[in-house]
């Protein structure tokens, strides 16, 4: 079955063609980062307008790159939520009309479930059950995944998402947006244990996160040391990143032990952070737990993961109708 996937929940317009849920024939991502960069974050109204401009050329490109014709497409899947309402509406309405015009089944996909599905698009896939972390600019959620459509939410952030903390600290350090990749690069040259930033909610059995204290602590440090050198900037970046990695790794390994799982899968924009994935893998290895992460181009938002999740929904007859709408917030469980 050939599925056209469409994603437009935030600041990337994406389309992909995926065969049988795992074989990516094409994956096109039109990023709006250049536009939002100067505002230090995503401006929702601008995002919606840019999705409108990009959606048709992006879908055309995905079809051309996959070397297929319109008639080859068997089903359509698009992100239904969570995300920015105006942005979601563009991709969802486009997909709905496309499916209606061609009389194809249409699945409205949960963006967070789709991130977990990005783990099934590589050569090394986690077997069920496994612990999944979806860690991005909007979410830091831990799930116990027991089957293709059973995701038990074990914990989530009570304030900022981990990616959001990376972006806000990068802004404080005047490093630009998005903050994750810049901080990771800068941190590479420094000992991450020099400045001790706080780690929150580490008591046993608690799988929730809180990063606002860490963010405030970095802000206070910068306030108290206003004329920091480039070298000190890198030091702050390294110590901040270490605090995030420490909390994410500890919670994930404890969640795996709690559920007696031998596998952890990380997905979402922050899982592109190699320092995180390597440190987590090292720590997990001691506990005989394997760690899985998507290929770097599938860590952030993409439509291949939407098509992959859509494929199982279509197979199970979980379809959307013309009167179905998008949603901005949800949990999956
Ligand atoms: O999944 P994503 O592309 O979009 C959503 O938020 O849904 O994630 C974007 C987030 C941003 O906060 C960005 O700073 C973060 O992922 N990110 C990283 C890295 N690459 C992207 N965070 C840490 N290290 C990275 N290498
Ligand atoms: Zn995402």
Instruction: Give the contacts of 113 (CB within 8 A, at least 6 positions apart).
Output: 149, 151, 309, 332
Question: Ligand 1 pocket, 83 CB below 6 A?
Answer: no
Over range 181-193, report the average pLDDT.
Answer: 94
Secondary structure of residue 67 in the 3-state scheme: coil
The reply to whether ligand 1 has any atom less than 6 angstroms from the CB of 300 is: yes
Q: Report the percentage of the chain scoring pLDDT > 90.
A: 85
**Helices within 9-117 (DSSP H only):** 33-37, 44-65, 85-102, 111-117
| Fold match flag (2-116+300-315 vs 124-293) | yes
How high is the mean pLDDT of the chain? 94
The residue ranges of every structural domain in the chain are 2-116+300-315, 124-293
| Euclidean distance between CA atoms 155 and 243, whole angstroms | 18
CA 139-141-142 angle, 5° bins: 160
Distance (angstroms) between ligand 1 centre and the Cα of 255 equals 23
- Among 14, 84, 137, which residue has the most ligand 1 atoms within 8 Å of its CB, making it the best to mutate? 137
Structure tokens at 178: 């998005």
DSSP state of 127: P
User: For 256-296, how does the pLDDT look when each residue is reduced to its tens digit (9 = 90+)?
Assistant: 999 999 999 999 999 999 999 999 999 999 999 999 999 99
Instruction: List the CATH code of the domain at 2-116+300-315.
Output: 3.30.420.40
pLDDT, residue 206, reads 93
178 lines ligand 1 (CB under 6 A): yes
Has domain 124-293 been given CATH number 3.40.50.2000?
no
Smallest Cα–Cα separation from 153: which of 173, 139, 163? 139
Nearest ligand to residue 115 Cα? 2
Identify the band that residue 143 occupies on the pLDDT scale cut at 50, 70 and 90: very high
At 201 the three-state DSSP class reads coil
Cβ atoms of 182 and 229 closer than 8 Å: no
Confidence of residue 42 (pLDDT cuts 50, 70, 90): confident
Q: Residue 89 Cα, ligand 2 centroid: separation in angstroms?
A: 16
pTM exceeds 0.85: yes
The CA-atom distances, in angstroms, between 60 and each of 1, 14, 55, 303 are 19, 11, 9, 14
Residue with tokens 């860590």: 299
Instruction: For ligand 1, say whether the CB of 179 is within 6 Å of any of its atoms.
Output: yes
Q: Poorest-confidence range of 113-122, 225-234, 281-290?
A: 225-234
Asked whether 86 lines ligand 1 (CB < 6 A), one says: no
Residue 15 has what pLDDT?
Answer: 98
User: Which one is predicted more confidently, 43 or 22?
Assistant: 22
CA distance 291 to 91: 32
User: 64: which residues sit within 8 A by CB, 6+ positions away?
Assistant: 26
Whether the per-residue pLDDT at 96 is higher than 80: the answer is: yes
At residue 333, the pLDDT reads 46
| 3-class state of residue 292 by DSSP | strand
Per-residue pLDDT averaged across 36-52, rounded? 84
- Cα(330)–Cα(333) distance, integer angstroms: 10
CA-based nearest residue to 87, from 62, 50, 61: 50
Is pLDDT at 121 greater than 50 in this prediction? yes
- Please, which pLDDT band fits residue 331 given cuts at 50, 70 and 90? low
């Amino acid at each position: 079955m050939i599925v056209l996937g469409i994603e437009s929940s935030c600041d990337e317009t994406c389309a992909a063609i995926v065969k049988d849920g795992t074989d990516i024939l094409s994956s096109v991502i039109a990023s709006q980062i250049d536009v939002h960069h100067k505002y230090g974050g995503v401006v929702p109204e601008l995002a919606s307008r840019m999705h409108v401009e990009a959606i048709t050329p992006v879908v055309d490109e995905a079809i051309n790159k996959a070397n297929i014709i319109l008639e080859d497409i068997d089903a359509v899947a698009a992100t239904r939520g969570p995300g920015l309402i105006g942005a979601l509406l563009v991709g969802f309405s486009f997909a709905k009309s496309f499916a209606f015009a061609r009389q194809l089944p249409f699945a409205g996909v949960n963006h967070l479930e789709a991130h977990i599905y990005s783990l099934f698009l590589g050569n090394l896939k986690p077997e069920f059950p496994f612990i999944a972390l979806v860690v991005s600019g909007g979410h830091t959620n831990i799930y116990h995944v027991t089957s293709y459509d059973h995701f038990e939410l074990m914990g989530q952030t009570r304030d900022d998402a981990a990616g959001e903390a990376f972006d806000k600290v990068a802004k404080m350090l005047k490093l630009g947006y998005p903050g994750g990749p810049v901080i990771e690069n800068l941190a590479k040259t420094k000992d991450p244990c020099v400045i001790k930033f706080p780690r929150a909610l580490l008591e046993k059995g608690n799988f929730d996160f809180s990063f606002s204290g860490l963010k405030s602590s970095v802000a206070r440090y910068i306030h108290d040391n206003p004329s920091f050198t480039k070298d000190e900037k890198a030091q702050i970046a390294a110590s901040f990143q270490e605090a995030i990695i420490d909390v994410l790794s500890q919670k994930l390994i404890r969640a795996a032990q709690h559920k007696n799982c031998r596998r952890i899968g990380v997905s979402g924009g922050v899982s592109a952070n190699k320092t995180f994935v390597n440190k987590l893998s090292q720590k997990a290895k001691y506990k005989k737990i394997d760690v899985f992460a998507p290929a770097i181009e599938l860590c952030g938002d993409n439509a291949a993961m939407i098509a992959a999740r859509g494929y199982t929904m279509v197979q199970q007859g979980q379809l959307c109708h013309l009167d179905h709408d998008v949603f901005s917030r949800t949990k999956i469980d």
